[in-house]
Amino acid sequence: MLCGGAAGQDFSKVTVEKAAGGFRFTEGPVWSREGHLLFSDVPNDRVLRLKPGEKTAAFRETSNGANGNTFDARGRLYTCESKTRRVTRTDKKGNIEVLAEKWEGKRLNAPNDIVVRKDGHVYFTDPAFGSQADTRELDFYGVYHITPKGQLQLIARPAGRPNGIALSPNGRILYVANSDERSVRAYDLDRDGEASGERVVVSGIDGVPDGMKVDEKGNLYVAAKGIAIYSPRGRLLSTIPVPETPANCAFGDVDFQSLYITARTSVYRVRLDVKGSVQY
């Protein structure tokens, strides 16, 4: 028997269907309240829109190496731009605002993944992979917090590279996956968005952990070797096998009971018996 939101779900029998394909490297999936999925095709420098029953269409042709994406409660899109090394916010009229690009006068490494709490606090990871590491100005990897007033704060400087990031359903716990350590760390968040109580909740992940999401019961869905599902206390519940190595995932569809998985050249979809946790 599985516990929490995974109770009653037999993941060995779920159907993993291919929703779209023909890309180079997919990342940053996020479901829009307007009824479609947005995701990044990073090497092709674009953000794409996938609406059920329709062909994939371009949302943003020049994305500055967009990786992670998310929305806030006002429907604004937040994007980690790896090429320009910045975090941006796009309003519903298409106006783009830069929220973060430097720390203490030095350019960020390459913002990777991002999440926004319901009250407007923003959290993102800043690792450096591949050629990004050759042009770094900072001598550390970071996990950052942007306050609703726009102040940038450094939460952590992990030894390994932080990657995926997610929030518990109540917004009081921040989860950060570490690709090098193959772990997930947790931080307690207070009303002001300040982080404390750093601890490892998941270790020894099979594969390299990347993006992750949380369901309504607080279970973690970590993109690694398949989608590894952990209880809030870090117990492995099950793994959803995926035809290609996944990079990230996001709950979607009208009922938020579909898990969309970005995996290399494709986007996959899995119907579940549990809803995703959504902060927007």
Q: What is the pLDDT of residues 253-276, one digit of tens each?
A: 999 999 999 999 999 999 999 999
Measured CA to CA, the distance from residue 278 to residue 31 in angstroms comes to: 10
Give the percent of the chain with pLDDT over 90: 93
Amino acid letter for position 178: N
Residue carrying structure tokens 């400087």 = 157
| Mean pLDDT value across residues 191-204 | 98
pLDDT at 161 over 60: yes
Domain limits of the chain?
A: 4-271
- Backbone torsion region of residue 74, taken as left when φ is above 0, otherwise alpha when ψ lies between -120 and 50, otherwise beta: alpha
Measured CA to CA, the distance from residue 167 to residue 210 in angstroms comes to: 15
Measured CA to CA, the distance from residue 248 to residue 210 in angstroms comes to: 6
Asked whether the beta carbons of 48 and 59 are under 8 A apart, the reply is yes
- Options 2.120.10.30, 2.60.120.10, 3.40.50.80, 3.40.50.300; CATH for 4-271 is 2.120.10.30
For residue 35, what are the contacts with CB-CB under 8 A and spacing of at least 6? 51, 52, 254
- The pLDDT score that the predictor gives to residue 113 is 98
Asked whether the beta carbons of 46 and 25 are under 8 A apart, the reply is no
pLDDT at 4 over 80: no
CB atoms within 10 A of CB 54: 9
Q: What is the pLDDT of residues 85-134, one digit of tens each?
A: 999 999 999 999 999 999 999 999 999 999 999 999 999 999 999 888 88
